Amino acid sequence: MAEVTRTEEEQVEKSLEEVEKTPHALESASSVGCEGNNSASGAEQSTENDKEVDSGDQDGRAKKRNLDSEDEPSKKVHVIGHGQAVAAHYNELQEVGLEKRSQSRIFYLRNFNNWTKSVLIGEFIDRVRQKKSDITVLDLGCGKGGDLLKWKKGRIKKLVCTDIADISVQQCKHRYEEMKSRCRYNEHIFDAEFIQADSTKDLLSSKYNDPDMRFDICSCQFVYHYSFETYEQADMMLKNACGNLSPGGYFIGTTPNSFELVKRLEASETNSFGNDVYNVKFEKKGDYPLFGCKYDFHLEEVVDVPEFLVYFPLLEEMAKKHGMKLVYKMTFREFYEEKIKNEEHKMLLRRMQALEPYSTHGDSRLVSDKPDDYEHAKEFIKDGKAKLPLGTLSKSEWEATSIYLVFAFEKQP
């Protein structure tokens, strides 16, 4: 991943000034036909199955994309607007049980993404806990509550869950109540509050039960890219994410990596790229506006609405204006390579079935029937020294998940 060079920083600062000067021009230029999205994350999922292992908060829907009506989402968005289209899309998502999920072509990809979130959330809960014990969290774009168990495991005190999709918020609340009712008498579960709001347009602080609410962590998992339709929306989401953080609090999240997306697009002969698991389609190549740079993201088994490119150096600059300093930004690959050095994270990876068992004995049933999807694994074990089965992801799934990055900002005193 490219580091932000001085020149890049200067460019970003300059563009930001221009954007602030001409927000309306940019807004109208960039919002044509912009829809919401559903991230490739496969994030979103909620079932009872994370009783033991937090193994899936992904979008577990089994619906296939209707190829005959590919243009339909755009039309719909023109009529009802971007935010409502996103809400409608997520509201429609069905919850899927473990059995169905385990048969999914992207079972391991979803688990891998979920592991990434678990490790990230765990790390920042630990960092806060070194300073205080009563931890309050804002889950911005909580979906159906896929991360509730992570917050329970993190023994936080209070959680505010918010999402644009009202049915998702209801399902999240229901899931929390069920989780609470299953608690043993001496078991602790956080207090929770649920808010339906468009975080790119509504000011969340006016909706909290306590208007002076302060958070230690704002977690924004596979959500922030929806806001990059216009400067105002991206800035409002940042304000919601960071405005009520205590000094020393963290804004953490996962979002597609614009460098990776553009690199893959530029390497493609067409306006799209992908494989049998995911596909990304831009409107055109070579022109990447800072806001409203829309692309359609399709992930196997998921009907998507489009998302917007987030140019990370710009996000970093904008975050500074909200008193935030970057702690780190890592691609999913870098994050994995770093975190896997820790035995606990490695064990969690196994428990969450975040990698597919691969062996050459022909005894494993693989999610992909394309032999070249496992060439890398074959290569790795060919000297016979590796312990089998090897944990891996099919090449197609890896290509899909490696689009993402992990970020963390800290609120300055």
- Residue ranges binding ligand SAM (CB under 6 A): 36, 38-39, 41, 43-44, 57, 83, 86-87, 90, 141-143, 146-147, 163-165, 168, 198-200, 221-223, 226
Annotated ligand binding at 117? The verdict is yes
By DSSP bridging, strand 356-358 and strand 390-392 are: antiparallel
- Residue 308 beta carbon to ligand SAM: minimum distance, rounded to whole angstroms: 10
Tokens 């959330």 locate to 121
Annotated ligand binding at 114? The verdict is yes
Would you say 216 and 136 are in contact if contact means Cβ atoms under 8 Å apart? yes
- Residue 254 beta carbon to ligand SAM: minimum distance, rounded to whole angstroms: 8
How many Å apart are CA 352 and CA 307, to the nearest integer? 28
**List of E strands, 110-199:** 136-140, 158-163, 191-196
Nearer to ligand SAM by Cβ, of 228 and 358: the residue is 228
Phi-psi sector, 89: left (phi>0), alpha (psi -120 to 50), beta: alpha
- Residue 334 beta carbon to ligand SAM: minimum distance, rounded to whole angstroms: 20
Nearer to ligand SAM by Cβ, of 91 and 246: the residue is 91
- Residue 166 beta carbon to ligand SAM: minimum distance, rounded to whole angstroms: 9
Annotated ligand binding at 38? The verdict is no
Nearer to ligand SAM by Cβ, of 119 and 377: the residue is 119
By DSSP bridging, strand 307-308 and strand 294-299 are: antiparallel
Both structure tokens of 329: 């930004």
Annotated ligand binding at 212? The verdict is no
Annotated ligand binding at 226? The verdict is yes
Asked whether the CA dihedral 328, 334, 335, 341 is positive or negative, the reply is negative
Nearer to ligand SAM by Cβ, of 12 and 253: the residue is 253
- Residue 157 beta carbon to ligand SAM: minimum distance, rounded to whole angstroms: 20
Annotated ligand binding at 221? The verdict is yes
How many Å apart are CA 193 and CA 145, to the nearest integer? 12
Nearer to ligand SAM by Cβ, of 54 and 373: the residue is 54
- Residue 389 beta carbon to ligand SAM: minimum distance, rounded to whole angstroms: 28
Annotated ligand binding at 111? The verdict is no
The DSSP result for 267-304, as a single string, is: HSSSSEEE-SSEEEEES-SS---SS--EEEEEETTB--
Nearer to ligand SAM by Cβ, of 207 and 281: the residue is 207
Query: Residue 91 contacts by C-beta under 8 Å, 6 or more apart in sequence?
Result: 165, 166, 167, 168
- Residue 160 beta carbon to ligand SAM: minimum distance, rounded to whole angstroms: 12
Annotated ligand binding at 143? The verdict is no
Both structure tokens of 358: 């691969």
Both structure tokens of 389: 């089965």
Nearer to ligand SAM by Cβ, of 136 and 199: the residue is 199
Question: Which amino acids are annotated as binding site for S-adenosyl-L-methionine, given as ranges?
Answer: 117, 141, 163, 198, 221, 226
Question: Which amino acids are annotated as binding site for mRNA, given as ranges?
Answer: 113-114
Question: Which amino acids are annotated as binding site, given as ranges?
Answer: 113-114, 117, 141, 163, 198, 221, 226
